[in-house]
């Protein structure tokens, strides 16, 4: 492998590159440097990332509590997970939250990015402001939102005579998730705006000029030019937003800590709590393995569907 410079992947290339490869002196020595460049990193990655994953899969088939003795229980944990209301509720909450947030954040970010990319004044300044939430700690700004939701908002609402909002929404099991969505969208929109803006700037202005000459409406320009041409950016934002929102943790720690009751307990929070504080190490690793499978399946599915949509234009 070290010496073969004409592997099948290279063969179809033009003869010049093969000639260049033949000219190159001491291919074996060069390759060795390349191996040393990746070897330590791959080893560390294996030790600190892959072994924990395998370790998790292994212990998910035991009754290990995080300390002491353990026995193999094989798939008992997995079977029990599907009968556990707390687990099912956590998945229901996490999916509902992630779907709503992903849709909202992408709609809002795309709208703001289009606004920033059109004929406006103070573009650089506004762009700079919209990116600020991305550089703040979710936990810390979450505490600020916590105070706003539980003290300021009820005060303003009761002054305006809106009874429904005169108590803290975070203390209401039916509304607490709304507060988490607001924080999540507020924080994540920043990054998505910049990605969409980068996408919008790849569209040549001549396309819009030509469309204007043909008498296309603003909406028609959006559906026929803008949206198809930022397809790859839309795909990446949808996939990454959903994946990140499914792992929601900091937002909840700052706003509700999973409450009231367990109404806003996400899967990550459940794994953290059960695994570290509840003596459910093995049980929650099984939960995490399921979570891994779910996230990989969803991401692959999303990529397939969205890329087919991209290709169809």
The interface with another protein within residues 207-246 (CB under 8 A) comprises 229, 232-233, 235-236, 243, 246
Strand partners, 62: 72
H or E, element range at 311? helix 281-312
- Cβ-based nearer residue to another protein, 24 or 220: 24
For the segment 2-21, give every residue that binds another protein (CB under 8 A): 7, 9-10, 20
Binds another protein (CB under 8 A): choice among 104, 136, 171, 175: 136
**Interacting residue with another protein among 107, 292, 301, 309 (CB under 8 A):** 292
For residue 31, what are its two tokens?
A: 């390759």
Q: Which of residues 147-186 bind another protein (CB under 8 A)?
A: 147-148, 151-152, 155-156, 159, 186
Whose Cβ is closer to another protein: residue 174's or residue 185's?
185
d(CA 288, CA 32): 39
Of 48 and 174, CB closest to another protein: 48
Report in angstroms how near the CB of residue 299 gets to another protein at its nearest. 5
CA distance linking residue 288 with residue 267, whole number of Å: 8
Q: Which residues contact 188 (CB under 8 A, 6 or more apart)?
A: 101, 105, 109, 241, 244, 245
Name the residue among 148, 79, 136, 150 with its Cα closest to residue 250: 136
Which string of b and e fits 131-167 if b means at least 16 CB within 10 Å?
Answer: eebeeeebeebbeebbeebbeebbeebeeeeeeebee
Least Å distance between CB 193 and another protein? Answer: 10
How large is the C-alpha radius of gyration of the chain? 26
Q: Does 78 bind another protein (CB under 8 A)?
A: no
Minimum CB distance to another protein, residue 223 (Å): 17
Are 104 and 184 spatial neighbours (Cβ–Cβ below 8 Å)?
no
Least Cβ distance, residue 292 to another protein (angstroms): 5
Q: Taking CB under 8 A as the criterion, which residues in 18-47 touch another protein? A: 20, 23-25, 29-31, 33-35, 37-38, 41-42, 44-45
Shortest spacing between CB 85 and another protein, in angstroms: 20
Strand partners, 72: 62
Residues 92-111 that bind another protein (CB under 8 A): none
Closest CB to another protein among 16 and 214? 16
Q: Of residues 70, 78, 95, 131, which one binds another protein by CB under 8 A? A: 131
Least distance CB 255 / another protein (angstroms): 11
Q: CB 36 → another protein: shortest distance, Å?
A: 8
> 255 preceded by cis ω (within 30°)?
no
Q: Pick from 14, 15, 28, 49: which binds another protein (CB under 8 A)?
A: 49
Question: Is there a contact between 298 and 95 (Cβ–Cβ < 8 Å)?
Answer: no
| Numbers of helices and strands, H then E, in the chain | 16, 0
């Amino acid at each position: 492998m070290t010496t073969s410079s004409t592997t099948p992947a290279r063969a179809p290339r033009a003869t010049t590159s093969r000639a260049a490869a033949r000219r190159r002196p001491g291919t074996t020595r060069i390759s060795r440097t390349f191996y040393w460049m990746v070897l330590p990193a791959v080893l560390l990655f294996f030790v600190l990332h892959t072994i924990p994953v395998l370790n998790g899969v292994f212990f998910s088939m035991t009754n290990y509590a995080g300390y002491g003795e353990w026995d193999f229980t094989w798939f008992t944990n997995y079977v029990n997970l599907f009968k556990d209301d707390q687990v099912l509720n956590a998945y229901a909450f996490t999916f509902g939250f992630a779907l709503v947030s992903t849709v909202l954040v992408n709609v809002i970010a795309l709208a703001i990015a289009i606004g920033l990319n059109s004929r406006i004044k103070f573009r650089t300044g506004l762009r700079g402001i919209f990116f600020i939430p991305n550089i703040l700690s979710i936990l810390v700004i979450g505490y600020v939102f916590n105070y706003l939701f539980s003290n300021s908002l009820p005060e303003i609402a009761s002054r305006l005579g809106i009874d429904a909002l005169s108590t803290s929404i975070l203390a209401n099991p039916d509304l607490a998730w709304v507060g988490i969505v607001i924080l999540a969208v507020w924080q994540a929109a920043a990054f998505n705006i910049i990605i969409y803006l980068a996408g919008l700037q790849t569209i040549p202005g001549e396309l819009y000029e030509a469309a204007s000459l043909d008498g296309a409406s603003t909406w028609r320009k959006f559906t026929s030019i803008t949206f198809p041409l930022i397809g790859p950016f839309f795909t990446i934002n949808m996939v990454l937003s959903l994946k990140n929102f499914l792992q929601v943790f900091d937002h909840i720690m700052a706003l509700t800590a999973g409450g009231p009751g367990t109404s806003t307990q996400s899967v990550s929070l459940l794994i953290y709590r059960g695994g570290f504080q509840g003596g459910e190490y093995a049980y929650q690793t099984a939960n995490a393995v399921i979570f891994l499978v779910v996230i990989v399946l969803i991401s692959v599915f999303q990529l397939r569907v969205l890329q087919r949509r991209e290709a169809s234009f």
